[in-house]
Amino acid sequence: MSKSTKKYLFLSLSYLGASLNFLLIINQGLTQANPASFSSQEQALTLIKPLPRVTFEPPDEDQPSDTVGGASRDGGSLCLSDNVAEQNQNLLINFLPLIPHNNHGLTIAERPTFYANVPETNAQRVFFSLIDQDNQTLYQNEFSIPQTGGIISFSLPESAPSLEIGKNYQWSMVLMCNQTMRPDSPRITSWVKRVEPLPMTVNQPQNQTGIELAAFYAKNGIWYDSLNILGNLWRKSPQNFSQYANQWANFLSQDSVGLEAIANQPLLTQPLIAETE
């Protein structure tokens, strides 16, 4: 083999080795980059995945006879404040229980969670009470509320009697103007009835939490439980905050519910805590 041929072969092999090393480096770089890019794509798809719509279908239930007292979705008489005219109008519109048109809702919970919208007010506390159809008080307590207003919630504690299946109960909230209750204090009242847990069907989600369960309850007319699930999802899912906020607003704005006036009110991040037990 001539010297020129050997030199040519040596240069060719050197070039081939360098090319292979270059391709290996490129391949390693792509291998390291791909998992991250795929992960980002998957996360993006997860974030933009649409949530199922939660549609409330009112149940075919007889309304409770009004043996205890007038139940209403408006705040009644008004709370006096420094800015009387403006604040009174605000109270009239916005002190509402979160309950459908008929002012009556179902629950499967022994101790359900109640929601109400409280407007900006000078009242610092609200009085909550729960009575049965025989006018017997089952639970009552006072709660501190933010004066900035917003949607508040409260769950019956373990110390309260559990609701009996098939019975109606009336709950009420009173704004305590000047730290006391008066005959003209703003008041809201509403009804709750505990029913049997829904029978297992092929349509019920296997996962007992989340938006699918809220949709299942709402479709079957279970108001309090579907509302509470949506509220908890909104509070506890910062990564999907806007989606759950929209779900909440759409749920309240449905024709079957009629709470569009307060659908975009802020939801307090924590449930109310009773001042005494």
Domain residue limits, the chain: 84-262
Tell me the backbone φ, ψ of residue 258, rounded to 5 degrees: 80, 30
Query: In this structure, which amino acid lies at residue 256?
Result: S
Which 3 state secondary structure label does DSSP give 50?
Answer: coil
Four-point Cα dihedral 236, 238, 243, 246, nearest 10? 70
The answer to whether the CB of 133 falls within 8 A of the CB of 168 is: yes
Q: What is the CATH number of domain 84-262?
A: 2.60.40.1220
C-alpha of 146 from chain center:
19
Is the alpha carbon torsion for 17, 21, 26, 27 positive or negative?
positive
Residue by residue, pLDDT tens for the chain (277 residues) are 555 544 444 444 454 444 444 444 334 433 333 333 323 333 343 455 677 789 999 998 776 665 343 444 454 445 644 554 455 555 555 789 999 988 999 999 999 999 999 888 888 889 999 999 999 999 999 998 887 888 999 999 999 999 999 999 999 999 988 788 888 788 999 999 999 998 765 566 665 558 888 999 999 999 999 999 999 998 887 677 788 899 999 999 999 999 999 999 988 876 666 666 5
37, 144 Cβ separation under 8 angstroms: no
For residue 188, what pLDDT is reported?
92
Query: Which residues have C-beta within 8 Å of that of residue 236, sequence separation ≥ 6?
Result: none
The pTM of the full predicted model, rounded to 2 decimals, is 0.74
pLDDT score recorded for residue 42: 31
Instruction: Please tell me the distance from the alpha carbon of residue 106 to that of residue 210, in angstroms, as a whole number.
Output: 19
221: left (phi over 0), alpha (psi -120 to 50) or beta: left
> Residue 141 and residue 240: Cα distance in Å, rounded?
34
Cα separation, 116 vs 16, whole angstroms? 76
Q: Which residues pair with 140 in a beta bridge?
A: 129
Per-residue tokens: 146: 């933010």
Q: What is the pLDDT of residue 156?
A: 94
* Among 105, 93, 95, CA closest to 56: 105
C-alpha span between 193 and 236 (Å, rounded): 27
Q: What is the C-alpha separation between 231 and 189, in angstroms, rounded?
A: 21
Supply the pLDDT for residue 185. Answer: 84
pLDDT at residue 84 in the model: 44
- The predicted pLDDT at position 149 comes to 83
DSSP class per residue in 149-210? -EEEEEE--TTSPPPPBT-EEEEEEEE-GGGS--TTS-EEEEEEEE-PPPPP-TTS-SSSSS
CA distances from 276 to 140, 147, 182, 273 (A): 10, 20, 21, 9
